Amino acid sequence: MIVVTGAAGFIGSYVVGKLNREGFKDIVLVDKYDDPLKLPNYQTKIYSEMVDRDQFFDWLAINEKFVQIIIHLGARTDTIGQEPEIYQQLNLEYSQKIWNACIQYGLPLVYASSASTYGDGKLGFDDNHSIISELQPLNLYAQSKHDFDCWALEQPKQPFFWAGLKFFNVFGPNEYHKDRMASVVFQAYNTISETGKMNLFRSHHPDFEDGEQARDFIYVEDVARVILFFINKRKDSGIYNVGTGEARTYLSLTKAVFRSMKMDENIGFVDTPEDLRGKYQYYTCANIKKLKSIGYNEPFLSLEEGIDDYVRNYLMTKACY
């Protein structure tokens, strides 16, 4: 059986759906099931059992002999939260307990890190273990993810296989519950549907024109494919970037949403809120040479391909994957 934590959330529920489509049905879903907005994400999935996040380690102690791998995608993902103790508990300490359980029971581990750990990008976006400790995240969420990456690399005892995946800017179906933490694609679609226009943040950085802020946007389908690759591979442990290797501007993204909606472009600009300016990444782009070097050679969907699939097959129909 495969354990997926965060299974009611965005990426976790998509991965469960992908596993189902690949023929995997003996899946254990781990999460807190107290948010009714997440119910559509998992109510149609095929699985063996649902386990509450707080009961997981007791469950694992009894069932560890049946578990093949843990895919740890559960986390507090709010990038503007101001409660350090929550990030400490859920993103660092909980992940440490999963790491140690995988060592104790001889289980492989794939876990979600984040490209937000790269901070303002002044040290680049290389997943080289030698520079990870030097990164300077810009918010509590990113810091908690960074702290776990650093802790994992320092451990003398490790799971026999593990992979920490630094997800770049993921978008796609099943993020409907995330509100303002949902992707820009989701925000743009809803805003354009309601108002016929979309406002982007102005640049407050001299090196970037308005709308030319750029990110490595990756469709959630590609993220699921990479996770499946590691489920099957189970060697070459380490931390890996998971992005497309190409930075695209917010302006390009917004234009692609208008095209997929078959609407004329109507794009304006507003000031970036003061409380976000010091925590804002103006540019991200994954160096994915390491991922490719271990055999991952599937092509990534372009930004336009991902947006078109998301808009036409999910957002317009209000469907989950």
Q: Which residues have a catalytic role annotated?
A: 141, 178
- As a residue count, the chain comes to 321
User: Dihedral angle at the C-alpha atoms of 186, 124, 224, 190, nearest 10 degrees?
Assistant: 0
**Contact indicator for 38, 9 with CB cutoff of 8 Å:** yes
Instruction: Return the exposure string of 80-105: e unless at least 16 CB atoms fall within 10 Å of the residue's CB, then b.
Output: eeeeeeebbebbbebbeebbebbeee
Residue 3 phi, psi (nearest 5): -100, 130
Q: 234: how many CB neighbours lie within 10 A of its CB?
A: 15
Handedness of CA 304, 307, 310, 312 (dihedral sign): negative
Query: Tokens 């781990």 — which residue?
Result: 30
**Contact indicator for 170, 220 with CB cutoff of 8 Å:** yes
CA distances from 197 to 181, 254, 264 (A): 20, 10, 9
The per-residue DSSP string of 87-135 comes to HIIIIIIHHHHHHHHHHHHT--EEEEEEGGGGTTSTT-S---HHHHTT-
**Rounded CA separation 78/73 (Å):** 14
